[in-house]
Each structure stands twice: as C-alpha cells, then as structure tokens.
Structure 1
Amino acid sequence: MRGRASVAIALSDEERGFLEAQLRRHKAARSLSDRCRIVLRCADGLTSKEIAAELGHSEHTVGKWRRRFAEHRIEGLSDEYRAGRPRTISDEQIADVIKRTLETTPKDATHWSIRSMAEEIGLSHTTIRRIWNAFGLQPHRAETFKLSTDPLFVDKVQDVVGLYMSPPNRAIVLCVDEKSQIQALDREQPVLPMAPGVAERRTHTYTRNGTTSLFAALDIATGAVIGKCYKRHRATEFLDFLKELDRRMPAGRDVHVVMDNYATHKTPRVKAWLARRPHWHVHFTPTSASWLNQVERWFAELTRKQIQRGVHRSVADLEADIAAFIDAHNENPKPYKWVKSADEILASVKRFCQKTLAGTSDSGD
C-alpha cells in the first residue's frame, strides 16, 4: 500500500533567499533554522522519509512543516499561538492583595508576610509571592530617613556642592569630621578562621577594651586622608586637629573646610583661631545632612574594612590598625566623584517631601 503523496514545494527566489539567510544567521533560533532546512530539502525534491533520515527528525515532523509551508508559505514556519492554561486568579483578587498589602496590617504583626497574607486572602503563598514580585512589594523591608529642618538648607547645599563641583583655583578643599567612641572590641572566645566550605565564625559576645575618637580630613582633589586619634572629642581636641592640618597645608594656599554643625566646631576658641587665619574658609553642611560631607563615605569604608570585624585587645591596638588603614589608603588614594548638582539634589528632596506629605495626608484621611 502506498501512503499519502508528499506535497511538492516550489520556492520563489525571494523565499529561497530568506530561508538560506536564516541558516547563515548566528543568532537565529534553532527551531526556525531546522524548519528552513527542511523546506529547502523539500524544494530539492527529496521525500519526507529521506529528509527525516538526513536531518535526524521524524517523518511526521518533516511532513508537518512541508504542509505548513505549502499552505502558509514563510508565515507558516512560525509557532502557532497557544492559549495556555486559563487564568485562575482574577484582576479583582490581585487588586485586593495589593490594597490589603498597602493599606492594612495583620492583627499580630506590624507588616504582612507571604504566608499570613495567603491565609488572610485564601490564595496560595506562591501566588502571593508572584503578585508581590510583579508589583515590587516588599513589606518585610523598611528604610529610614530624616529631612533637614535647617532654615538655610538650600543655601548650604548650593555652597557645599558648588565647592565640590567647581573648587576655587589653587585652593585645598578638606572634608573634616570626627568618628567618635570607636570601641576596641575583643571576642570572648577565639575567632575560628575561614575554611573551604566554612565561613569565618566568631562569638556574638565581646569584651569592651576602651574607646577612641578619630578626627579625619579628606582632600577631595586627591582622596588622601589626614587622621588622628584622641581619647576624647571635645573642642580642645578639635582645635588641636585643626592646628595639625594647618601645619601640613602648603604655604600660600587657601583652605576650604567642609564640616557639620557639631557644637565643638563653633566654640569661641575655634572661632578665634579661624578668625586669625583669613586663608581658612569654613563651609557648614545643613543640620541632619551628614551625607553632604564626603569624609563620611571614607568613614564607612574604614568601618567595613577594618573596624567591623576587627579584634582589638586594647585601644592602642585599635589606633594602630586605624593608622595602618590610613597609611594603606594614602599609598594609592582615589577621590570620590561627586556627580549630582545642587539643583538635582534640591529637586530630589522636593519630590521626596511632596511624596511624604501626600502619604501623611492619605493616612490622616
């Protein structure tokens, strides 16, 4: 008995050119290139059985794409639309999950978890997870913020940021601050070192061995840091640090100092010392805006790289490690690149204030 006769395939020049081009494309889908190869062999007069044996497909597959091409031509080589499984979650249910997540809290907690929301709504926890992921909802996360109430906030931002982005010619710009009460901590039991497949382990309990305060100045042009540790962080120590900076500054250069509004920075002795040096210029950051002081970024590196996991049996050990960190940093200093202008910062703060006020008014309603 003879089977059904194969459909003859005749290609136009344009069709053959398209099919051959797909075979040469490196990024063409494997499924499309296989179909194009089948059609080209069909046009060469081979039977479906011969093509199947040559290309490693089943005879049924070759016959399917032969018929699809004969009926729909090039468009027939694309996959047909598949409806897939019908939706089991309605838009109203999704909206209900989002509304409850944003506007309510459970009776026994401050925020929803995936499983508590699933139990409340009556959906599976995997469904809740997909909905939260799709809409970027993360009830378990919370961030902190504090807006500056400084009446001269705008003026100070423009002054400090302008100094960063366009410093005066031949002037030195220093970001000065103190990191106070750095604790010399020793673990109550020996630290177990890292091993293959095992992280470093340490006890959560520790012994306090005293504190030190670090005064530091960051040169924004070079990234170099001048630092000195003191037992206390009074105006006396701050003035001594300013004198240390003055001794290290090149003669005949103006010095611009960026610092915060801490009380020890504004005592009569400090003001009098600065008044006797007209080449020193002070720029105060707004209150509650320490992020404007670039030395804070360096303090974060010091904490992360040296202090956080350090083991110090005495204040002297701690101060030695801090000094070694400063020396290592200054061997290859790199300045931080300030990219946001004052106008961009103020616009961002304005948007945040508007969002905060809108959220406050909504919750009050």
Structure 2
Amino acid sequence: MFKPGRPKAVLHLMDSEHRKLVRLAEDARTPRDIALRCNIVLTCAQGVTNREVARRIGVREETVGKWRARFVQEGVAGLCVPSRRNHGGRPKPVLSLSEDERLRLEEIKKVGPPSAALLSTVLLASASGLTNREIARANGLAEHTVGRWRARFLANRLLCFGADGLPGRPRARLGVLAE
C-alpha cells in the first residue's frame, strides 16, 4: 500500500554500529536522551515506518524522522550531541570582565590575603566559562557559595572587595563609598 509523504531515509546498520548502539542504549551511564536516540535508530533498522517506531517507543513521528536522518548523515556520533533543551531554572548570567577588572583580580589573587585570593580565583574561573559546580569542586567550596559570590560580583563588580582588598559585603564594609 502506498503511503503519502516524504520517503524515509534508508537505514542500514553495520555490525559495529549495531553493537555500539546496543551498548549505548543499555549502559546505565548513558544520558537518557542519547539512549532514546539509539533505541529509535535500532528500531528503525528493523525496517518499520516512523509511525510504528514512534508508537513503540512513545515519541513523535517527527522525532523519529529527525534521528533517523541524523544517523544516516552522521552515524553514531550524530546521536551523541548533547541536548540543547532548557532544563529549567533561571539561566546563569554571563560573567565577563574588563581588562582592568581582570588585571585587578590577578593582582589580588597573587598578593592578597587568602580569602581575597580565593574569591579572585573563583571570579576568574567564572569568567573563563566554568560552571559553579566545576569551580566549587576545584576549590573545595559549596556550589551555592560560588553562585553567591558570582551574583555579588555581578551586582557590585570590584566593590565586593573593600578598600583593604578583603572580600565582604560592600555596603557593610565600604560604608559611605557604597551609597
């Protein structure tokens, strides 16, 4: 029976691809979205329609078509791209530093007291694009502490360091200067 619509991409698996897809789909350490993509391709390789694959797996036909085509074009590597889906929550503000701020933080990091050096290290790492979790683990801090320091710096820039170079709450430490 003729079915209208675009022809589906022909999908043939080599033994090595099949083994790799099965391994990824069954490994508990594989992210769920990638395991799902592998299962889609494995089911497509059985020669069934996108509609039938979607019904069996519980996804939309468009999703099946997308990952079938991606696999045909790019192979297994095309399935392993990270999901761009928003996982909720407020996005982290970008922390970018001016050259003057970067130089000042580098100076504090080298010659400042340990607490100021740690704050400088965290801020420089944040500006380099590391996540709060990565920074916290590398410096023995709690993740929420890194988030607080980042937010405080974004709100007050270098005022989060007092006149003596020590970190602290700007309004409490700087008094008249912060008003």
TM-score for the superposition, normalised by structure 2: 0.52
CA offset digits 1:46-91 (Å, max 9, x no partner): 1111111111111111111100000011111121697xx9966245
Taking the aligned partners of 1:138 and 1:15, their CA distance within structure 2 comes to 57
1:30 aligns with one of 14, 29, 32: 32
Q: Report the residue type matching 1:10 in the other structure.
A: H
Structure 1 Cα separation of the partners of residues 26 and 82 of structure 2:
24
Q: Distance in 2 between matches of 1:130 and 1:53?
A: 53
| 2-structure distance, mates of 1:67, 1:29 | 21
Q: Residue in 2 aligned with 1:125? A: 152
Which residue of the partner structure matches residue 167 of structure 2?
Answer: 139
Tell me if structure 1 keeps the 8 A contact 2:95–2:154: no
For residues 127 and 86 of structure 1, do their structure 2 counterparts lie closer, same or farther at Cα, with a shift above 3 Å needed?
closer
Q: What is the CA-CA distance between 1:126 and the residue it aligns to?
A: 4.7
Give the Cα–Cα distance (whole angstroms) in 2 for the partners of residues 94 and 81 of structure 1. 34
Q: CA RMSD in A?
A: 4.1
Aligned counterparts of 2:48 and 2:59: Cα–Cα separation in 1: 14
Find runs of 4+ consecutive structure 1 residues off by over 4 angstroms: 85-88, 99-104, 128-132
Q: Which residue of 2 aligns with 1:53?
A: 55
Closer, same or farther: CA 79–92 of 1 in aligned 2, 3 Å: same
- Number of residues of Structure 1 aligned to a counterpart in Structure 2: 119
Deviations 1:235-291, CA, capped at 9 Å, x for gaps: xxxxxxxxxxxxxxxxxxxxxxxxxxxxxxxxxxxxxxxxxxxxxxxxxxxxxxxxx
Could you say which structure has the higher strand fraction? 1
Contact 1:48 1:62 (C-alpha < 8 Å) held by counterparts: yes
Structure 1, unaligned stretches of length 5 or more? 105-110, 115-122, 141-365
Is 1:52–1:58's contact at 8 Å kept on the other side of the alignment?
A: yes
| In 1, Cα distance between equivalents of 2:66 and 2:96 | 36
TM-aligned CA distance change 1:129 to 1:22, over 3 Å: farther
Q: Secondary structure at the match of 1:34?
A: helix
Trace 1:117-196 onto structure 2 (pairs within 5 A).
Answer: 125-127=152-154, 139-140=167-168
Match of 1:98 among 105, 117, 132: 105
Q: Normalised by the size of structure 1, how large is the TM-score? A: 0.27
Larger RCO, structures 1/2 (Cα 8 Å, 6+ apart): 1
2:79 is aligned with 1:77: yes
Q: In structure 2, what is the Cα distance between the partners aligned to 1:44 and 1:30?
A: 22
Compare CA radii of gyration and give the structure with the larger one.
Answer: 1
Q: CA deviation at 1:24?
A: 2.4
Deviation string 1:276-332 (CA, Å, 9 cap, x unpaired) is xxxxxxxxxxxxxxxxxxxxxxxxxxxxxxxxxxxxxxxxxxxxxxxxxxxxxxxxx
Structure 2 gap ranges (5+)? 85-91, 120-149, 169-179
Matched, 1:41 2:68: no
In structure 2, the residue matched to 1:259 is: none
Counterparts of 1:1-365 in structure 2 under 5 Å? 2-79=4-81, 89-90=96-97, 92=99, 94-98=101-105, 125-127=152-154, 139-140=167-168
